[in-house]
A and B are shown apart, each in its own frame.
Chain A
Amino acid sequence: QVQLQESGPGLVKPSQTLSLTCTVSSGSISSGDYCWSWIRQHPGMGLEWIGFSYHSGSTSYNPSLKSRVTISVDTSKNQFSLKLNSVTAADTAIYYCTGGSSGSKVEYWGRGTQVTVSS
């Protein structure tokens, strides 16, 4: 079973760039038609899809975040990453990396990582 683990700073200053990495284990990031997504959950709230990338580099982003988001895949490291620039307090959330087939999009989840935007 595919396992995912997020890593990155837990504290980011306003206006800076949030950068997270997801390491995929027990499976290849290049296998099949899987897509690799980032999803976030604001404190005590529901789930918000940020975007995904296929191992080919083809991406899709939530229009509400598109101007600030980049998701990329590093097949040599079996990792994918999230960059969200110009962050504000509204970007404070738990960030999850996920993987899933191209149809259902989301199957496997990482444990999530708390990111707080504060000076």
Chain B
Amino acid sequence: DVVMTQSPLSLSVTLGQPASISCRSSQSLVFSDGNSYLNWFQQRPGQSPRRLLYKASTRDSGVPDRFSGSGSGTDFTLKISGVEAEDVGVYYCMQATHWPPVTFGQGTRLEIK
């Protein structure tokens, strides 16, 4: 199985300040078609997860542009350019290149300082 390791596991950020979450995979996530099937999800308290980004860096429709994704191979990053109160929640990375199984990171909890 591909192990997804997120860091940090928790993050406390002042409103308006940037935040960054790392996701590392135990194998390269580059698929035979050249894409890296790495998704980022946000799970707000009491809600189901919502996809923010796919193929590492493509933002989903309706996702604010303060969210961005980067990386390739085994190292990926989710950045929030200026944290807002509605960004509180848990963020997960997920790989869909090597399956079964599809695997998730442990999650990173974001809170406001």
Chain A: residues with CB nearer than 8 A to chain B?
Answer: 37, 46-49, 51-52, 60-64, 96, 103-107, 109-112
Contacts and interface: CB of A to CB of B under 8 A. Distances in A.
B94 A47 contact: yes
B51 A112 contact: no
B24 interface: no
A106 B99 CA distance: 13
- A52, A103, A112 — which one has the most chain B CB atoms within 10 A of its CB? A103
A111 B55 CA distance: 24
B107 interface: yes
Nearest to B6: A46
B59 to A, nearest CB: 13
Interface in B83-113: 92, 94, 96, 99-107
A104 B107 contact: no
B50 A49 contact: no
A48 B99 CA distance: 13
B67 interface: no
